[in-house]
Amino acid sequence: CWSILVGKARYIVFFFALLGASGAVASPGREFLEPEEISAIRKEQDAGKRVLLYLTFAKRRIEQVKDATASKDFGAGEAIQSNLADYNSIFDALADSLANAREQRSQMSKPIQELQRQGTEFLTYLQALAKTATRNKDDYRFTLEEAMDTTKDELADAKKGAFPEVKERKPPSDLPSSP
């Protein structure tokens, strides 16, 4: 009985070793930003300007996706998936920076305009990619859907403007009439 359990345990260990070697298990310590991008974010104190930096980084990932889709390389699907995952993480960080910028009352007109302009371009490309039949689409189909949803959410948030809570305020109705 003990020898059967030991034999099964060897197969389980072997299976997980193969799974990890194949890249099917995501590396938990993987950073979605390049070292120079991290440095640029750390140097920029203004949250509104950080939004612009994140847009630059997102554009790089979209360009890398475009390059990978044009590639005939067998691993192109995995490269697309990886870049789209980074794009999603960048947009999540962008959302946090946008919230911080609103909290800090940073100058928001340019970041909001750029988010609307570039976000619309990104979404247009992502939707076109979703409609295109590519070789390894199964490698990145779900990440692509997530990227489109994330982009739509941020565009909707940007549409609210720099300080949406101001628009939602109602004037007080319980003030006494003027003398």
pLDDT in tens, 75-115: 888 999 999 999 999 999 999 998 888 888 877 889 899 99
Q: Which residues of 145-154 are buried (b: 16+ CB within 10 A; e: fewer)?
A: ebbbebbeeb
Q: CA separation (Å) from 63 to 43, 79, 97? A: 25, 12, 23
Tokens 């300080």 locate to 163
How large is the average pLDDT for residues 64-69? 93
Q: Tokens in use for 138?
A: 């199964």
**pLDDT given at position 151:** 96
**pLDDT given at position 74:** 82
Q: Mean pLDDT in the chain?
A: 80
Q: CA separation (Å) from 42 to 37, 53, 118, 157? A: 9, 11, 23, 24
Write the DSSP assignment of 107-164 as a string of letters: --HHHHHHHHHHHHHHHHHHHHHHHS--TTGGGTHHHHHHHHHHHHHHHHHHHT-S-H
Residue 161 scores a pLDDT above 90 = no
Long-range contacts of 63-71 (CB under 8 A, 24+ apart): 65/129, 66/125, 69/129, 69/132, 69/134
Band of pLDDT at residue 17, cut at 50, 70 and 90: very low
- What is the pTM (predicted TM-score) of this model? 0.74
How large is the average pLDDT for residues 132-136? 79
